[in-house]
Structure 1
Amino acid sequence: MGKSHSKVPLPRFRRGSRDEYIHECINKRKYYASYIFPSDNDEVDRLTVQHYIFQHIWESNFSSPVKDLLKSGAKVLDVGCGPGVWVLEMADKYRESTFTGIDIVANFPQTIKPENTNFFTGEVKRLPFEDNTFDFVYMRFMMFAITMDDWPEAIDELVRVCKPDGWIEIMERDILWYNETEIVRNWRTRIVDKLREEKGIELIITPHIPRFLYTNDKLTNIKCDEREAKISWGGKIYEAYGKMIIWGAKNLSNAISEIQFNEGEYDYLVDVAIDDIAKNKGYDKSYRFWAQKKIC
Structure 2
Amino acid sequence: MGNTPSTSTSTSTPTSCYNFQKATLSERYQYIMQMNEGRVDRFQVQHHIYREVLRSNFSAPITDTLKQGASVLDLGCGPGMWVCEMATDYRASIFHGIDYHNIFPTQKPVNAQFIKANLLERLPFKDANFDFVYIRSLVFAFKPDQYENVVLKEAIRMLRPNAFIEVIRTKLITNKMDPSITLKMPSILYKYDKSLKRVRDQQIKINIGRFGGKIGEIQADLCIRLLREESKMIRGLFKLNAKEYEEFVEGFIKELNTHAVYMIWYKYWAQKKG
User: Structure 1: how far apart are the matches of 2:107 and 2:268?
Assistant: 32
- 1:164 maps to 161
1:228 to 205, 218, 233: 205
> Shift of residue 60 of structure 1?
1.0
Instruction: Encode CA deviations 1:238-278: one digit per residue, 9 max, x unaligned.
Output: 10010011112223312233423235x52453243133133
Q: Which amino acid is the alignment partner of residue 164 of structure 2?
A: W
- 1:155 maps to 152
Structure 2 unaligned blocks of 5 or more: 1-20
The alignment status of 1:63 with 2:43, answered yes or no, reads no
> Shift of residue 153 of structure 1?
2.3
Contact persistence 2:167–2:268 (CA under 8 A): yes
Instruction: Encode CA deviations 1:150-170: one digit per residue, 9 max, x unaligned.
Output: 212221111111111100011
**Of Structure 1 and Structure 2, which has the larger fraction of its residues in strand?**
1
Contact persistence 1:138–1:169 (CA under 8 A): yes
User: Structure 2: how far apart are the matches of 1:56 and 1:275?
Assistant: 26
1:1-296 equivalences under 5 Å are 23-24=23-24, 34=29, 35-109=31-105, 111-125=106-120, 126-150=122-146, 151-174=148-171, 176-178=172-174, 180=175, 182=176, 185=177, 207-208=185-186, 210-233=187-210, 234-258=212-236, 259-263=239-243, 266-267=245-246, 269-295=248-274
User: Structure 1: how far apart are the matches of 2:26 and 2:23?
Assistant: 5
Q: Which amino acid is the alignment partner of residue 199 of structure 2?
A: I
- 2:14 maps to none
Contact persistence 1:250–1:267 (CA under 8 A): no
TM-score for both structures, normalised by structure 1: 0.75
Structure 1 unaligned blocks of 5 or more: 1-20, 25-30, 187-203
Q: Which amino acid is the alignment partner of residue 205 of structure 2?
A: E
2:232 is paired with a residue whose SS is: coil
The 1:288/1:99 distance shift into structure 2, 3 A limit, reads same
The root-mean-square deviation of aligned C-alpha atoms, in Å, is 2.4
Instruction: Encode CA deviations 1:179-216: one digit per residue, 9 max, x unaligned.
Output: x2x4xx59xxxxxxxxxxxxxxxxx69825x2443444
> Shift of residue 89 of structure 1?
0.7
Contact persistence 1:100–1:117 (CA under 8 A): yes
- 2:7 maps to none
The 1:267/1:98 distance shift into structure 2, 3 A limit, reads farther
- 1:10 maps to none
> Greater CA deviation, 31-40 or 64-73?
31-40
Instruction: Encode CA deviations 1:31-80: one digit per residue, 9 max, x unaligned.
Output: 77634443111111111111001111111111111111111111110000
TM-score for both structures, normalised by structure 2: 0.81
Contact persistence 1:36–1:252 (CA under 8 A): no
User: Structure 1: how far apart are the matches of 2:197 and 2:119?
Assistant: 21
Q: 4+ residue stretches of structure 1 with deviation over 6 A?
A: none
1:61 is paired with a residue whose SS is: coil
The 1:215/1:115 distance shift into structure 2, 3 A limit, reads closer
2:60 is paired with a residue whose SS is: coil
Which structure would you say has the larger RCO, counting Cα contacts within 8 Å and 6 or more residues apart? 2
The 1:274/1:22 distance shift into structure 2, 3 A limit, reads closer
User: Structure 2: how far apart are the matches of 1:228 and 1:68?
Assistant: 29
2:102 is paired with a residue whose SS is: coil
User: Structure 2: how far apart are the matches of 1:212 and 1:294?
Assistant: 13
1:255 is paired with a residue whose SS is: helix
